[in-house]
Chains A and B, each alone.
Chain A
Amino acid sequence: MRKKLATVWLGGCSGCHMSFLDLDERLLEIAQWADVVKSPVVDQKEFPEVDVVLVEGAVVNAEHEEEIVLMRRRSRVLVAFGDCAVTANVPSMRNAWPKEVVLRRSYLEVPGTVEGRVPTEEVAALIDRVRPLHELVKVDFFLPGCPPSADLIYYVLTELLHDRVPVLDEARLKFG
């Protein structure tokens, strides 16, 4: 039976998605097993019910908080995709300071800011601390790496889309 696959981009650099695209011709192989029903490269507003979702990025703002809960509810297998999703990684480097300090620094104090102001409407409000996915929802599979290699993504997706549990042994498991 064909599976439904989604990929999501939360607080991250999209590098994991780049690595996903690096699957190149193997993407066609994936397409034989699953429909990519929701992804930054698919025009679909609502998050549908899916079999597998790859979530890139950490939970950084209020929107992410809502989205991740929704995704959890509508996904059979939720994969923390890449270091940001697994450890909060680079986005979390702001966590040692209160978000007000971080915002002031970014929008007002850095050189080159002209008449800076902290945006309030255009972008979602930051939450106090950047958090990895598993602090908010149950994560079924952790796929660390910054980014995980295309080979690794291929391996993990192949297993999951065939209802097998991938195994990250010492050779496959790596942060950074």
Chain B
Amino acid sequence: MNEIVSIQLDGNELKVELGRTILDVCREAGVDLPVMCYLEGLSVVGACRLCVVEIEGSPRLFPACTTPVAANQAIRTQTEKLKRYRRMIVELFFAERNHVCAVCVANNACELQDLARRVGMDHVRFPYLFPECGVDASHPHAVLDHNRCILCTRCVRVCDEVEGAHTWDVMGRGHASRVIADFNEPWGSSTTCTSCGKCVQVCPTGALWPKAASMGNLRKEPGKIGELVAKRKLNA
């Protein structure tokens, strides 16, 4: 057990254990921070920047998922600026690829769609980029649709860290980055994929979806990964 210190979270005094992250503490205190790349059970990458918070005394913003709490921190999670920035980040997501909720299998079961309503995004102010994106339907059980991928890398991490197959990775860089299987080959011909389906479960959007699903009946269970990892630790 680490030392207990006090912090202020949106004005409320809290006693917390050192060594935990701000996100952890927020979740426990019922402060709901938006996240996309973060998933319990996977390594933390701090990539989506949605969970950034303000800490009094610093001009910088801090991602809650990677920043540890410290004594006497005064954390603000819902300032007007943070809300504005979060909405902008969501808009950037929507403008980056070709997200068409109306024809998406994940319609009504999509973390990105939910996020858009949470941050009050009624339209995207930035020009849509309309990149040409492929759909890989070569796998017998599931489909990868790059049009809907937000590069959160949950699939990459779950495949490497939990399943141990490391079928997925990211190729290229910047806005040309793409999730790939093996040597950028059709998923169905992958020699490393175990078809465990974990990547499909953790994908927050309709980028990875089981062929058995149709719009309206898709249910993903990303939370299972956290449980799985916890159980493994128990057995280890």
Contacts and interface: CB of A to CB of B under 8 A. Distances in A.
Q: Is there any pair of Cβ atoms, one from A and one from B, under 8 angstroms apart in the complex?
A: yes
Contact of B102 (A80, A146, A168): A146
A90 B122 contact: no
Contacts of B124: 87, 132
B100 A86 contact: no
Given A144-B123, A176-B107, A90 B132 contact: no
A83 B101 contact: yes
B113 interface: yes
Contact of B123 (A90, A97, A132, A169): A132
Contact of A175 (B101, B127, B128, B130): B101
A87 B117 contact: no
Interface size band for B:
20 to 34
User: Which of B122, B124, B125 has most chain A Cβ within 10 Å?
Assistant: B122
A88 B123 CA distance: 11
Give the secondary structure class of B's interface: loop
Contacts of B131: 96
Contacts, number: 69
Given A142-B122, A170-B118, A173-B122, A135 B133 contact: no
B21 interface: no
Contact of A142 (B107, B123, B128): B123
Interface in A76-103: 80, 83, 86-90, 92-93, 95-97
Contacts of B122: 86, 142, 144, 168, 173
A89 B123 contact: no
B70 to A, nearest CB: 33
Nearest to A171: B117
Interface string B134-149: 0000000000000000
B123 A146 contact: no
B108 interface: yes
B102 A134 contact: no
A95 B128 CA distance: 10
A80 B120 contact: no
B161 to A, nearest CB: 32
A127 to B, nearest CB: 13
Interface of A: 80, 83, 86-90, 92-93, 95-97, 129, 132, 134-135, 139, 142, 144, 146, 168-170, 173-176
7 contacts: A86-B123, A95-B98, A95-B128, A96-B130, A142-B123, A168-B122, A173-B120
Given A92-B100, A169-B120, A175-B113, 4 more contacts: A90-B103, A134-B123, A173-B117, A175-B116
